[in-house]
Amino acid sequence: MLSLGFLGLSEYASWHITVFCINLVLFVFSRKIVNFLNSGQENSSQLSLFRTLNVTFFLFHGLDWAMLYFDKNYENYFLKMGLSIVLIYSGIIAYSLATLYTKAKFGVKKEVDGKIIYYDSYSSRMVNILFLIVVSIMVLMYVIKIWGFTSLLETTGLFGLSVAFLALTNSIWAPDLYYGMVILNSNMLEDGDVISFSGEEGEHPYIISKVTFIYTILLDVTNNHRIMIRNAKMVDMTINNLSKKASLEGLRHHHTFKIGYPKQQENGEEQYLKFKERVEKMFTYVGEEAIKAKDVLVNDNVPFTWYITETGDYAVEYTLTYHMESLPETRSTKRIREYLLATPRYINEIVLRASYKYNIDLSTPIIYNTKS
Q: What is the CATH number of the domain that holds 344?
A: 3.30.70
pLDDT of residue 218: 93
Q: Does 168 share its domain with 237?
A: yes
Q: How far is it, in rounded angstroms, from Cα 216 to Cα 233?
A: 10
Domain range for 14: 4-113+130-136
In a domain, 295, yes or no: yes
Q: In Å, how far are 60, 64, 65, 76, 233 from 72, measured between CA atoms?
A: 17, 11, 11, 10, 55
Q: Does 269 share its domain with 310?
A: yes
**Entry pTM:** 0.67
pLDDT of residue 11: 59
Q: In Å, how far are 133, 167, 307 from 268, measured between CA atoms?
A: 79, 79, 20
pLDDT of residue 1: 39
Q: How many angstroms separate the most distant Cα atoms in the chain?
A: 113
Q: In Å, how far are 186, 196, 251, 323, 336 from 247, measured between CA atoms?
A: 19, 19, 8, 11, 20
Q: How many domains does the chain have?
A: 3
Q: Where are the beta strands (DSSP E) in the chain?
A: 108-112, 115-119, 194-197, 206-211, 215-220, 225-230, 239-241, 252-260, 305-311, 315-323
pLDDT of residue 248: 78
In a domain, 54, yes or no: yes
In a domain, 372, yes or no: no
Q: Does 66 share its domain with 87?
A: yes
Residues composing the chain: 372
| Domain end position, chosen among 183, 209, 243 | 243
Of 147, 9, 167, 20, residue with least CA distance to 86: 20
pLDDT of residue 364: 65
Contacts of 178 (CB under 8 A, 6+ apart): none
Measure the CA angle with vertex 205, ends 291 and 322; round to 5°. Answer: 25
Of 188, 192, 187, residue with least CA distance to 205: 192
| Domain end position, chosen among 197, 220, 243 | 243
pLDDT < 70 stretches in the chain: 1-13, 15-16, 38-45, 68, 71-75, 150-159, 161-162, 202, 265-266, 364-372
Q: Does 19 share its domain with 105?
A: yes
- Read off the pLDDT of residues 76-132 as tens digits, 9 standing for 90 and up: 777 778 778 878 878 888 888 888 888 888 887 877 777 777 778 878 888 888 888
Transcribe 123-176 into DSSP letters. HHHHHHHHHHHHHHHHHHHHHHHHTT-HHHHHHT-HHHHHHHHHHHHHHHHHHH
| Domain end position, chosen among 212, 243, 274 | 243
Q: Does 202 share its domain with 268?
A: no
Q: Does 10 share its domain with 102?
A: yes
pLDDT of residue 152: 59
Q: In Å, how far are 340, 366, 367 from 370, measured between CA atoms?
A: 44, 12, 9
pLDDT of residue 115: 76
φ/ψ of 201, rounded to 5, equals: -75, 130
Sheet with strand 225-230: strands edge to edge: 225-230, 215-220, 206-211, 194-197, 239-241
Q: Does 236 share its domain with 268?
A: no
Strands 115-119 and 315-323: unpaired
In a domain, 275, yes or no: yes
Sheet with strand 305-311: strands edge to edge: 252-260, 315-323, 305-311
